[in-house]
Chains A and B, each alone.
Chain A
Amino acid sequence: MQTASHKPTYTLARARVGERLRVVTICPDCPECLRLRELGFQDRVEVRKVADGAAIICSIMGMRVAIGRDLGEHVRVEKIAA
């Protein structure tokens, strides 16, 4: 995985609720991830995790999306300093 920054990256599923995050990479293969890209989960885009449970709710570009935890594992993010 290549990123310009040296901040630690982790998956969206593991991020904490309320954190401001930036998408680093997203898996290229599965159809769900293509839809995630189409919904705006592009590299370098800001995401905020709103809720966490059996699934995750996150806020991206002014909209909220619920994604399964398993799908959340396909998105790598890094924390943006507050």
Chain B
Amino acid sequence: MASPVSTSAAPSSSREVTRYVAIAGNPNCGKSTIFNALTGLRQKVGNYPGVTVEKKTGRFFGSHGEAMELLDLPGSYSLQVRSPDEAVARDVLLGRQADTPRPDAIICVVDASNLERNLYLVAQMLELNIPIVVALNMVDVAEKNGVVIDIMALREKLGVPVIAMVATKGVGLIELRQAVSRSPLPPPTIWTQMPIVLEREVMGLARQLPVAPDIARAEALLLLTLHEAALDEVTHHDRAIIEATKAAQQRLGTAGIDPISAPVDARYDWIGQVCAAAHHTGDSHFAASVSDKVDGWLTHRVWGWVAFLGMMALMFFCIFTVAQVPMDWIKDGSDWLGKWVTDHLPESDLRGLLTDGVIAGVGGVVVFLPQILILYFFLGILEDTGYMARAAFIMDRLMSKAGLHGKSFIPMLSSFACAIPGIMATRTIENRKDRLVTILVAPLMSCSARLPVYSLMIAVLIPGHSAMQKAGIMLCMYLLGIFVAFGMAWVFKRKLLKGETPMLLLEMPPYRMPSWKGVALRMWERSGLFMRRAGTVILALSVLLWALATYPKPSDPKATPSEALAQSFAGRMGHAIEPAIKPLGYDWKIGIGLIGSFAAREVFVGTMSIVYSVESKDKEDIAPLRDTMTNEKRNDGSPMFTPLVCIGLMVFYVLAMQCISTVAVVRRETNSWRWPLFQIFYMTGLAWAGAFIVYQGGKLLGFH
């Protein structure tokens, strides 16, 4: 079906925004599908300041062409929040979020096949005094499940516009657009009435709150339903308000009303009345569904693991084989470009900078784009189909041994792509300490930037062996990362961040066909972010590294390239750290690689090619670099890259925190420098110790 959204026919985006609309709803109710359908490619992905929660905004146009700004809020079950992303949704709706205005209207997306539970959030939204349009999504799924919803009755009971939709097929989008652009859009007139004693306390507290009168009731109700410990952590109200809240809670307790559960019960009573009038369920509601049967297999103690490992194997197989073809194209492209520059520019520093610095540095990173895309493709499908929640479920037993729960597994899985989305995914973990532990260990999972380092070292270690043997060593490195991550989580949970793990509570979304458009859009977004990084940070870094390895030039013009390197800035730095890395079997040249890759580990390969193949004509190809490294000798004439040094270097890269972007994200997520610094310290220490054990231990055992 043709989508009614058309980017080309859209009025100019410079038109003034007339309305600011937020799109809210439970997780997995189709919010993002509606957001994508309304905004098309006119999206902007950013972050809310202070937290690593993604902020997605986009422009869309009402039925008369009026421009509106649409904000995709994180999915939440309730305004009584339990995780950082739910807190962002609440703060935006209450106008507390810095840099984000309070919305003029809310599109509240409701999963029709799960109406009662979804109406709970609607009930809370109705209390916020913001105009609401309810988008009743997935009515087709509901019908298939034997659920019949009387839209007119629902509209009447809720007192707000209700639009029946099948967002994946574009059904109802025009009506939704019309409903949102209606002017004026009145605020809700119906909301849940609380028990009279509670209502009196709410109004009393609302009068004392220094907030706008239209949200005072909602704020007061949220405060009154906080547990004592949570109340003590509230910082956006002064002490007097907190004390008044506690006093009100006490009075309610004496009157026999539990201020925490009473509003929930009242809302569900009201939902019961709404559903009695508008919602008719067949008896199939409780029959075992297809999803139940599939769950019987995929969450089975044995078969669940078989399915999980099979899926992981397929994913990594595709990453290492399918990606090879486009990777070769990119490599050929950058080789060709390097050659073109070499052919067209005379021998000069500028040519060296362009070929060795810019093209080798940026090309060496961009070459991983296909692998990253495939990884995101798989992760997107696992998430869209609802399998991710099952993976978290079966991993819960293993994770609980390390003191974490299954939810921590999803960020760790994402970290195989890159620790940054992994760390961003920790926002769904409710418990602060568990989130910190997950953040601390997530970068130990081997990310895609480590691949080039492993590939190079394996090529030096066992040239000419079969792909299977190489893949085997690669797998060992991945397993080492996982193993150490679990071990460190266990240590942190027992020593550093002691605390009870909250009990697992996780919705298992029904299995669905993935939205290919959504998966494609996410891959597009990610590749954009990755390319922007390659074009900015990596580019600038490569230029600087090249300069450090080139200047100052030796006074003697006949100096060999390796003498020139030795007295360059990079060479001096390499010499400076040599004492620290000598016990690992490394010399100052490897030291340059280690320093160079401190900001981004993938730079190691580029640096090594600058360091070792300065004399080689074809610097883009890994084979001459591999041969140069294999033939590299120590001062005493023994080979430099012995098996122990190669394995030690790989172990070092498995364990070291060499990624400036991850440091920045951890800094932002934890809101202090303490944790990222600790992370750099412990991971570098671990890396050093690991490489030391491999080298010295191996020597003691008689290897070389």
Contact = CB atoms under 8 A, between A and B. Distances in A.
A40 B504 contact: no
B120 A38 contact: yes
B268 A64 contact: no
Nearest to B502: A32
A39 B507 contact: yes
B296 A51 contact: yes
Contacts of B392: 66
Nearest to B269: A42
A37 interface: yes
Contacts of A67: 503-506
A35 to B, nearest CB: 6
Of the four ranges (under 10, 10 to 19, 20 to 34, 35 or more), the interface on chain B belongs to: 35 or more
A57 interface: yes
Interface string B278-289: 000100011010
Nearest to A65: B507
B393 A55 contact: yes
A79 B145 CA distance: 24
Interface in A52-82: 53-55, 57, 59, 61-68, 70-71
Given A51-B295, A54-B400, A66 B506 contact: yes
Interface stretch (B111-119, B153-161, B339-347, B682-690): B111-119
A67 to B, nearest CB: 5
Nearest to B398: A54
Given A35-B78, A40-B268, A65 B508 contact: yes
A28 interface: yes
A34 B268 CA distance: 13
A31 interface: yes
Contacts of A48: 286
A62 B114 contact: yes
Q: Which of A36, A59, A62, A67 has the most CB of B within 10 A?
A: A62
B504 to A, nearest CB: 4
A63 B286 CA distance: 10
A50 B150 CA distance: 30
Contacts, number: 118
Given A50-B295, A68-B396, A38 B264 contact: yes
Contact of B117 (A18, A53, A54, A61): A61
A36 B405 CA distance: 17
Contact of A62 (B77, B82, B113): B113
Nearest to B286: A48
Contact of A36 (B113, B120, B505): B505
B192 interface: no
Contact of B261 (A28, A39, A57, A66): A28
Contacts of A40: 116-117, 120, 268
Nearest to B272: A42
B676 interface: no
Interface in B292-319: 292, 295-296, 299-301
B389 interface: yes
B503 A71 contact: yes
Nearest to B78: A38
Contacts of B696: none
Contacts of A37: 261, 264-265, 268
A18 B336 CA distance: 64
Contact of A39 (B117, B260, B281): B117
Contacts of B510: 63-64
A55 B304 CA distance: 13
Contacts of B268: 37, 40, 42
Given A20-B286, A64-B295, A57 B508 contact: yes
A32 B82 CA distance: 9
Contacts of B507: 39, 63-66
A62 B505 CA distance: 17
A66 to B, nearest CB: 4
Contact of B396 (A54, A59, A62): A54
A66 B78 contact: no
Contacts of B285: 62
Nearest to B120: A38
A71 B261 CA distance: 17
B120 A66 contact: no
Given A37-B264, A63-B114, A65-B508, A53 B503 contact: no
Contacts of A61: 114, 116-117
Interface in B232-286: 258, 260-261, 264-265, 268, 281, 285-286
B432 to A, nearest CB: 13
B406 interface: yes
B145 to A, nearest CB: 7
Contacts of B117: 39-40, 61, 63
B96 interface: no
A34 B145 CA distance: 28
A21 B397 CA distance: 25
B77 A39 contact: yes
Interface in B496-535: 502-510
Contacts of A70: 503
Contact of B265 (A42, A46, A51): A42
A59 B286 contact: yes
A31 to B, nearest CB: 6
B207 interface: no
B385 interface: no
Contacts of B265: 37, 42
B260 A28 contact: yes
Interface of B: 77-78, 80, 82, 113-114, 116-117, 120, 145, 147, 227, 230, 258, 260-261, 264-265, 268, 281, 285-286, 288, 291-292, 295-296, 299-301, 389, 392-393, 396-397, 400, 405-406, 502-510
Given A38-B80, A57-B295, 10 more contacts: A31-B227, A37-B265, A38-B120, A48-B286, A51-B299, A64-B295, A66-B393, A66-B396, A66-B508, A67-B506
The 10 closest A-B pairs by CB, nearest first: A68-B504, A71-B503, A54-B397, A64-B508, A68-B503, A66-B506, A38-B78, A37-B264, A40-B117, A66-B393
30 contacts: A28-B258, A31-B230, A35-B77, A35-B78, A35-B505, A38-B77, A38-B80, A40-B116, A53-B299, A54-B396, A54-B397, A55-B393, A57-B508, A59-B286, A61-B114, A61-B117, A62-B113, A62-B114, A62-B145, A63-B510, A65-B507, A66-B392, A66-B504, A66-B507, A67-B504, A67-B506, A68-B504, A68-B505, A71-B503, A71-B505
Interface of A: 18, 20, 28, 30-32, 34-40, 42, 46, 48, 50-51, 53-55, 57, 59, 61-68, 70-71
